[in-house]
């Protein structure tokens, strides 16, 4: 009967400069392991305590709730993105319309400071008689 196939680690990997020696404190090569042994070790490593039916139902319900909330969050983000894009397109359309008609692109409203400077003068020239 032929020998069963097994997984092995290469003790000294081949690098660009030829054989690369591993450090003494580095990972050590382990003996070959069959797939059955690998499955068994994985099963032992990932084993969790048994849950009662009620605990299992609660766990599944919580997991479904988490998935639903995540889905709702993605849905809200998508809606917000669509609304932002729509608003941006509308603003772009208004800017293009103003540009086409030769209107100023931004609404300029005089501030109190601007009005006061206009009335008083800049301080550079003579003041006007009011």
49-99, pLDDT tens digit by residue? 888 999 999 999 999 999 999 999 999 999 999 999 999 999 999 999 999
Higher pLDDT among residues 16 and 30, named by residue: 30
What confidence score (pLDDT) does residue 24 get?
60
CA-based angle 56:59:61, to the nearest 5? 110
For residue 120, what pLDDT band results from cuts at 50, 70 and 90? confident
C-alpha–C-alpha distance, residues 21 and 44, integer Å: 32
Rounded to two decimals, the pTM is 0.45
Q: Is 7:35 a contact under the CB 8 Å cutoff?
A: yes
Distant-in-sequence, close-in-space partners of 98: CB < 8 Å, separation ≥ 6? 104, 105
**What are the boundaries of each domain within the chain?**
53-101
User: Across 9-118, where does the E strand assignment appear?
Assistant: 14-15, 18-19
């Amino acid at each position: 009967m032929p020998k069963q196939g097994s997984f092995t680690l290469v003790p000294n990997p081949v690098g660009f400069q030829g054989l690369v020696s591993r450090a003494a404190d580095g990972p050590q090569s382990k003996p070959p392991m069959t797939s059955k042994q690998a499955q068994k070790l994985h099963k032992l490593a990932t084993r969790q305590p048994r849950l009662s039916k009620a605990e299992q139902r609660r766990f599944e319900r919580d997991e479904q709730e988490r998935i639903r909330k995540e889905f709702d969050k993605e849905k809200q983000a998508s809606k917000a993105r669509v609304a932002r894009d729509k608003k941006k397109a509308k603003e772009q359309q208004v800017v293009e319309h103003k540009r086409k008609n030769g209107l100023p692109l931004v609404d300029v409203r005089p501030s109190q400071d601007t009005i006061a400077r206009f009335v008083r003068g800049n301080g550079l020239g003579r003041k006007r008689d009011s």
